[in-house]
Structure 1
Amino acid sequence: MTDTVDIPPTESRWWDYVEDLQVANGMKTVTAVAEKIGIPPSTVYAWKSGAGSGKKANTKVDAETARLVAYKFDRPVLEVFFNAGLLAREDVAEDRDVIGLTTEDLTDEALLQDLARRFQRLKTENELLRNERPQAEEPEAPAKAPSTLKRKSTRVARRPEGRA
């Protein structure tokens, strides 16, 4: 029996991978990533804007670009090709350890940045889900009923004068 693992859409997985490389290498901008690879920044922006949006145009990665990413970021070619969607999990089944970056590949600062990015993504996804759900009407607060209880007198009865 073989393990089955759900693989996210290629465009999303590719951008997540490139973004992980960006964080691991301490790069602050998408333009810096593009310069390191030697491709136009518009290509990297297309990867970013197409991730998770269902867009297919300009988000595909060709083998030459994936090879450049592998060499420029000093990553295994199989790992990059897998994350680019150029290889299926079965193609790299024997090399499970080269499928992605591990936490050991990241500096402490890069790991913290990655966690912050992931928490922000989860927060955004949760907000989107919350907005998609039909909003239940909040019940109106019941009107305050008028008080029918009579107030007890706070007067104190006095003793008649002259009595001890």
Structure 2
Amino acid sequence: MADRTWWKYVCETAGTDNQSTIAARIGRHPSSLNKWPQGATPRVESVRAFAEAYDRPILEAFVAAGLLTEEEARQGP
């Protein structure tokens, strides 16, 4: 997943959902997603909400967002 961008991950995960639908599902205003397609790093809370809304592992989403490396995500407690 290292070559993926956050927005590509969002689009692949959300399927046919548009930006407004994604925002509604994660409980955010659509304008809070406006910079994601340009490569902006999302807020931690938005990444967590996205993962939960689309039933994806939180660590997977954090890696896709660039908030964790794959190595960090694999580390145990």
TM-score tier after normalising by the smaller chain length? 0.7 to 0.9
Structure 1 stretches lacking a partner, 5+ long:
52-58, 95-164
The TM-score normalised by the length of structure 2 is 0.81
The TM-score normalised by the length of structure 1 is 0.41
Question: For the residues of structure 1 that align with 2:67 and 2:27, how far apart are their CA atoms?
Answer: 20
Match of 1:73 in 2: 54
Question: For the residues of structure 1 that align with 2:13 and 2:34, how far apart are their CA atoms?
Answer: 15
Residue correspondence of structure 1 range 38-53 to structure 2 within 5 A:
38-48=27-37, 50-51=38-39
Q: CA RMSD in A?
A: 2.0
Q: Which residue of the other structure, out of 6, 25, 49, is the alignment partner of 1:14? A: 6
More helix by share: 2
- Please identify runs of 4+ aligned residues in structure 1 that moved more than 3 A: none
| Percent sequence identity over aligned pairs | 32
- Residue type matched to 1:15 in 2? W
Question: For the residues of structure 2 that align with 1:69 and 1:37, how far apart are their CA atoms?
Answer: 5
Question: For the residues of structure 1 that align with 2:55 and 2:64, how far apart are their CA atoms?
Answer: 15
Question: For the residues of structure 2 that align with 1:93 and 1:63, how far apart are their CA atoms?
Answer: 18
Question: For the residues of structure 1 that align with 2:20 and 2:33, how far apart are their CA atoms?
Answer: 8
- Residue type matched to 1:91 in 2? E
- Residue type matched to 2:35 in 1? A
Residue correspondence of structure 1 range 79-158 to structure 2 within 5 A:
79-93=60-74
Q: Which has the higher contact order (CA 8 A, sep 6+)?
A: 2
Structure 2 stretches lacking a partner, 5+ long:
none
Question: For the residues of structure 1 that align with 2:14 and 2:65, how far apart are their CA atoms?
Answer: 15
Larger Rg: 1
SS at match of 1:34: helix
Question: For the residues of structure 2 that align with 1:89 and 1:79, how far apart are their CA atoms?
Answer: 8
